[in-house]
Homo-oligomer: A and B are copies of this chain.
Amino acid sequence: MSAMPPSLTSLTSYLLSKVGKNARGLLAERLAVKELRLWHMATLAALADFGPHAQRDLAQRLAIHTSDMTKLLDELAAQGHVTRDRDPADRRKVLVTVTPAGRDALAALIDEAEAVQDAILAPLSTDERTLLHGLLLRLHDGPG
């Protein structure tokens, strides 16, 4: 009982928003156990995948505000997951680097995300999951 309105569920845009929010919530719940949030995970992933960044470049890549990035990095640094050093070549910039501990933490976070994923995608077969991933990837890269 208590079904959702068909006027909404017939809209793909609404379903994307709703299913996405659900995924976000479950993911955040898991990450909270480790005192981390989604942005922490995204930040560690960017540093691990692309190497050290100036703080501003990091914020730009993840599309968050530099002021929020400052707080995020305060927290990650406090947990020993990143280090911050002035760029000797341009002392305005702060070079952010992921530590080995940060890489370990990221691996653990990815494990959590995969566990959540198994729960969310339970209704789908393996082939369907691959299909969905491919479609979402195109939506993600397509418009921006």
Contact = CB atoms under 8 A, between A and B. Distances in A.
The residue in A12, A14, A15, A132 that gathers the most chain B C-beta atoms within 10 A of its C-beta is A12
A102 to B, nearest CB: 12
A2 interface: yes
Given A7-B49, A139-B124, A13 B27 contact: yes
Interface residues of A, number: 62
B132 A49 contact: no
A139 B9 CA distance: 12
Given A48-B7, A120-B13, A143-B122, A136 B19 contact: yes
Interface of A: 2-9, 11-24, 26-27, 38, 41-42, 45-46, 48-50, 57, 60-62, 106, 110, 113-114, 116-117, 119-124, 128-129, 131-133, 135-143
Nearest to A7: B45
Question: How many monomers of this protein are in the complex?
Answer: 2
Nearest to A41: B8
B19 A24 contact: no
Contacts of A42: 5, 8
Contact of A138 (B6, B17, B23, B124): B124
A53 to B, nearest CB: 10
Contacts of A16: 19-20, 23-24, 120, 136
